[in-house]
Amino acid sequence: MKNLSLYALVFLSLSCQGTKIEQLFSSASPYDKYLHDLKSSTLKNNSLVKDWEAAGEQALADSNSVELPYKELTQFDPAAPEAASFLFSAREGQEITINLKLLSDTSAIWFIDLFKVNGSGDLEQLKPERNENASRYPVGSEGKFLLRLQPELLKGGLVELSISYASTLSFPLLEKSYLNIASFFGDSREGGRRKHEGVDIFAARGTPVLAVSEGRVSRVGNNRLGGKTVRVSSGRYSYYYAHLDSQVVSAGSKVKPGDTLGTVGNTGNARTTAPHLHFGIYAPGWKSLDPLHFFQDAPELADLPMADSVFLNNWGRVKGELVNLRQGPSTRSLVLDKLGRQEVFRIEGKTAGWLRIRLPDHRKGFLASNLAEDIESPLDKRTLQDSDWLKVNWWSSEFQHPSFSGKAEVFGSFGQFDLVTAANGIQLWVKNQADRTDL
């Protein structure tokens, strides 16, 4: 009662100050606002709402590991609350790009939530720039990130998800790109006594050197190593242009991307090499960063054939003798387990050459497409007895019932149970005949 009185006082205080209760949630994410609305509605005690919330929480606790760029087809059943999550790494200087293409129900609202995984494993929710079903987020520090994807309650359908990265800086030389970098960050210098703190791009003497970002020229100088140099400060970064043949800006001037700062040369300790631009990026504390990640766009992935969506959210089975269940869609990825011939699984996503699957016991991973097949055709037939132990789904209790007795078709197995379709058309699990204790 004391707590209720306190809450009442807080409510009255906010009301007297003209503060709306909605303002308490102004900083919440669209996902959290939607969940709050669900719990405040007449559906608050509905099991579907609880299942929807549980699906979102489970997705955060159990993610699929992928490498960028990544693209997949996936399908969500509107009748069964579902969520999926993807764990990936990104580097400072990259911009994470997320795009969701709605291929069936274009009216559905989808929640695309991005988190940073901190050193302790805790999730820090990020606020990317959003535009309908697309998001962009510049990476401020290298690390692991988690993306959760979930449609609104009682919605879903077929979608194509793309997670990639894009450059955050324009290139300092016209008609060139990161592919023209000839000497990379970290390369040995002076017989190994120091490391290269930038990248070198070779070009003809006199080629204009361009600003890569908005900023202010902080220094125009000349020194033994860099020769003629220009430094530009922009937010948390400082950009360093060295070995210039000429400088055409002065300290204190503002610049924008594409403005000319000087021209390519070979001054300083580069006088014995061909003309080139040395470009470096420094963070606070004069920490040098690899410029490559600021310039590099991810390769474009081919569109996935719509025909691959036919078996999404359906059962598949192993067609090899013993195959690897992997953490990610790559033969380089960690092997999580071995799956035997005719073991069954749910197909949750399809990417190039790989299936994202979930086993009946909810373990998940990736399986090479050529090691799997659909379960359209039965493998065998068996006769169900009154004494057979049955389950309607993997996690339900075992039971016996004469109404299922008769002929059945076997489509695969998992553990001690066969996945069958009974004579009445109902799909269920039946204990393997080899495991029956009454035989």
pLDDT digit string, tens, across residues 6-33: 333 333 333 344 444 444 445 689 999 9
270: left (phi over 0), alpha (psi -120 to 50) or beta: alpha
**226 confidence band (pLDDT: 50, 70, 90):** very high
Give the mean model confidence (pLDDT) for residues 167-187.
93
pLDDT score, position 308? 75
Question: Is the sign of the CA dihedral 59, 65, 68, 72 positive or negative?
Answer: negative
Q: Across residues 326-347, what is the average pLDDT? A: 96
Q: What percentage of residues in the chain have a pLDDT greater than 70?
A: 92
Check: CB of residue 239 under 8 Å from CB of residue 279. Answer: yes
**pLDDT value at 184 more than 60:** yes
The greatest distance separating any two alpha carbons of the chain, rounded to the nearest whole angstrom, comes to 92
pTM of the entire structure? 0.87
DSSP 190: G
Q: Is the pLDDT of residue 438 over 60?
A: no
Are 134 and 99 in contact by the 8 Å Cβ rule? The answer is yes
State the residue for tokens 């099991």. Answer: 47
Identify the pLDDT of residue 190.
Answer: 63
Question: Which pLDDT score is estimated for 215?
Answer: 98
Q: What percent of the chain lies above the pLDDT cut of 90?
A: 82
pLDDT for res 249? 98
Query: How far is the first Cα of the chain from the last one, in angstroms, to the nearest whole number?
Result: 63
Residue closest to 308 by CA, chosen among 123, 103, 138, 105: 103
Q: Coil, strand or helix: which one is 123?
A: strand
Mean pLDDT score across all residues of the chain: 90
Residues forming a β-bridge with 41: none
Residues 429, 391 contacting (CB under 8 angstroms): yes
Q: Provide the H-helix boundaries in 207-338.
A: 292-295
Lowest mean pLDDT among 8-12, 116-120, 178-182: 8-12
Mean pLDDT calculated for residue range 69-85? 95
Residue 380 and residue 361: Cα distance in Å, rounded?
A: 23
Which has the closest alpha carbon to 279: 268, 298, 292? 292
Position 426 scores a pLDDT of 93
Bigger pLDDT: 379 vs 23 = 379
